[in-house]
Amino acid sequence: MKQGWDASASPKIGDAVPRKEDQRLLLGAGQFGDDRNAPGQVYAAMVRSPHPHARILGVDASAALALPGVLCVLTGADAMADGLRPIPHSVASTGVLDVHVRNESGDPFLSDHRVLPLDKARYIGEAVAMVVAETRSAARDGAECVAVAYEPLDFTIQATQARDADAALVHDGAPQNTALDGALGDHAAVEAAFAQAAHAVKLDTWIQRVTGVPMEPRSALAVPDVASGRITLMAGGGNVVRQKRELAAVLGAPEDDVRVIAGDVGGNFGTRNAFYVEFALVAWAARRLGRPVKWTADRSESFLSDYQGRDLEAQAELALDEDGRFLALRSVNTSNIGAYSVSFGPLTKGVELATSVYAIPCARVRGRAVYTNTPPTNSYRSSGRPEAMFIMERLIDMAARQHGFDRVEIRRRNLIARDALPYTNALGLTYDSGAYERTMDAALARGAWSTFEARRAEARARGKLRGIAVANYIEIASGIPRERCEVSVDPAGRVDVVIGTLSSGQGHATSFAQLVTDAFGVRLDEVNLITGDTDRVKAGGGSHAGRSMRLAGVVIGKASAEIIDKARRIAAHAMEGRAEQIMLRDGRFSLEGSNRSLGIFDLATLSETSDALPPDLRGGLSSVCDEVSKSAGFPFGSHVCEIEIDPDTGVPEIVGYVAVDDVGRAINPLILHGQAHGAITQGLGQALFEKCHYDSGSGQLIAGSFMDYAMPKAAALPRYDTIISEQPATTNPLGVRAGGEGGTTPALAVIVNAIVDALRDHGVTHMEMPVTAASIWEAIHAADAANALASTGFSAPRRPRT
Give the confidence band of 783 by pLDDT, cuts at 50, 70, 90: confident
Give the confidence band of 177 by pLDDT, cuts at 50, 70, 90: very high
Query: pLDDT value at position 423?
Result: 97
Statement: residue 409 has pLDDT above 90:
yes
Average pLDDT over all residues of the chain: 94
526 and 494 in contact (C-beta within 8 Å)? yes
Which residues have C-beta within 8 Å of that of residue 235, sequence separation ≥ 6? 33, 218, 219, 220, 221, 243, 260, 261, 262, 279
Determine the Cα–Cα distance for residues 615 and 107; give it in Å rounded to an integer.
55
Q: Which helix (H) or strand (E) holds 584?
A: strand 582-585
Query: pLDDT value at position 306?
Result: 97
Q: Which helix (H) or strand (E) holds 606?
A: helix 600-609
Give pLDDT tens digits for 768-777.
999 999 999 9
The mean pLDDT value for 670-691 works out to: 96
Give pLDDT tens digits for 558-592.
999 999 999 999 999 999 889 899 899 888 999 99
Query: pLDDT value at position 7?
Result: 62
Determine the Cα–Cα distance for residues 173 and 694; give it in Å rounded to an integer.
26
In single-letter form, the type of residue at position 138 comes to A
Q: How far is CA 413 from the centre of its chain?
A: 32
- Strands, E, within 297-399: which ranges? 308-320, 326-338, 362-371
Statement: residue 231 has pLDDT above 70:
yes
Statement: residue 778 has pLDDT above 60:
yes
Q: Between vectors from CA 233 to CA 230 and to CA 239, what angle results, nearest 5°?
A: 120
Residue 255 in 3-state DSSP?
A: helix
Q: Which helix (H) or strand (E) holds 209?
A: strand 199-211
The mean pLDDT value for 525-530 works out to: 95
Determine the angle formed by the axes of helices 277-289 and 240-251, rounding to 10 degrees.
Answer: 60
Query: pLDDT value at position 587?
Result: 85
> Beta-carbon neighbour count of residue 535 at 10 Å?
11
Give pLDDT tens digits for 237-258.
889 999 999 999 999 999 999 9
In single-letter form, the type of residue at position 281 comes to L
Give the confidence band of 95 by pLDDT, cuts at 50, 70, 90: low
Report whether the peptide linkage leading into residue 422 is cis, meaning its omega lies within 30 degrees of zero: yes
Q: Between vectors from CA 164 to CA 162 and to CA 167, what angle results, nearest 5°?
A: 60
The mean pLDDT value for 641-666 works out to: 97
In single-letter form, the type of residue at position 45 comes to A
Query: pLDDT value at position 802?
Result: 45
Statement: residue 648 has pLDDT above 60:
yes
> For 778-793, b where at least 16 C-beta lie within 10 A, e where not — what string?
ebbeebeebeeeeeee
Query: pLDDT value at position 5?
Result: 54
Statement: residue 218 has pLDDT above 90:
yes
Query: pLDDT value at position 42?
Result: 98
Give pLDDT tens digits for 293-337.
999 999 999 999 999 999 999 999 999 999 999 999 999 999 999
Closest CA to 630 of 430, 345, 382: 430
Statement: residue 9 has pLDDT above 90:
no
Closest CA to 613 of 583, 585, 575: 575
Pure H helices in 621-725: 669-688
Query: pLDDT value at position 2?
Result: 46
Statement: residue 469 has pLDDT above 60:
yes
Query: pLDDT value at position 547?
Result: 86
Determine the Cα–Cα distance for residues 280 and 82; give it in Å rounded to an integer.
13
Which residues have C-beta within 8 Å of that of residue 272, sequence separation ≥ 6? 212, 214, 218, 236, 237, 238, 265, 504
- DSSP-derived letter for residue 721 is E
The mean pLDDT value for 390-415 works out to: 98
Closest CA to 155 of 692, 701, 697: 697
Burial class from Cβ neighbours inside 10 Å (0-12, 13-18, 19+) for residue 136 reads middle
Do the bridges between strand 199-211 and strand 308-320 make them parallel or antiparallel, or are there none, so unpaired? Answer: antiparallel
Query: pLDDT value at position 258?
Result: 97
Give pLDDT tens digits for 112-134.
999 999 999 999 999 999 999 99
| DSSP code per residue over 515-554 | HHHHHH---GGGEEEE-SBTTT--S---S-TT-HHHHHHH
631 and 550 in contact (C-beta within 8 Å)? no
Statement: residue 593 has pLDDT above 90:
no
**Length of the chain in terms of residues written:** 802
283 and 231 in contact (C-beta within 8 Å)? yes
Give the confidence band of 479 by pLDDT, cuts at 50, 70, 90: confident
Query: pLDDT value at position 800?
Result: 47
Query: pLDDT value at position 159?
Result: 96
Query: pLDDT value at position 798?
Result: 56
Determine the Cα–Cα distance for residues 232 and 221; give it in Å rounded to an integer.
8
Q: Quick one: CA torsion of 675, 271, 22, 741, rounded to 10 degrees?
A: 10
The mean pLDDT value for 46-57 works out to: 98
Q: Which helix (H) or strand (E) holds 25?
A: helix 22-26
39 and 529 in contact (C-beta within 8 Å)? no
Q: Between vectors from CA 476 to CA 658 and to CA 411, what angle results, nearest 5°?
A: 50
Any idea which of 3-17, 194-208, 344-358 has the lowest mean pLDDT? 3-17
Q: What phi and psi values does residue 402 have, to the nearest 5 degrees? A: -75, -30
Any idea which of 20-24, 541-545, 675-679 has the lowest mean pLDDT? 541-545
